[in-house]
Amino acid sequence: MDNMTLIAVASIVTAGLTTGFGAIGPALGEGYSVATALKSLAQQPDAASTITRNLVCRAGND
């Protein structure tokens, strides 16, 4: 392989890795917020409408 091909392959691999790592953070954050909302719903079922509304509004703004 010549240098240009090697650079092209390295840049494609790097772009894929950075995109993957960049998607992990928001996915973990949104999963944590859903888990917390479900825990809150289990503890306080009377506040279900408020908790659900806040979860949908915050998740929709990402």
Question: Tens digit of pLDDT for each residue in 39-59?
Answer: 988 999 888 888 888 887 776
Cα pseudo-dihedral 51, 57, 59, 61, rounded to 10: -160
Which spans in the chain are helix H?
A: 3-43, 48-60
14 is a domain residue: no
Question: Tens digit of pLDDT for each residue in 6-52?
Answer: 999 999 999 999 999 999 988 898 889 889 988 988 999 888 888 88
How many structural domains are present in the chain? 1
40 is a domain residue: yes
53 is a domain residue: yes
7 is a domain residue: no
Domain around 51: 25-62
Give the pLDDT confidence score for residue 62 in this predicted structure. 56
The reported pTM is 0.64
Token pair 């909302």 is found at: 37
15 is a domain residue: no
What values do phi and psi take at 14, rounded to 5? -65, -40
Token pair 């409408």 is found at: 49
60 is a domain residue: yes
What values do phi and psi take at 10, rounded to 5? -65, -40
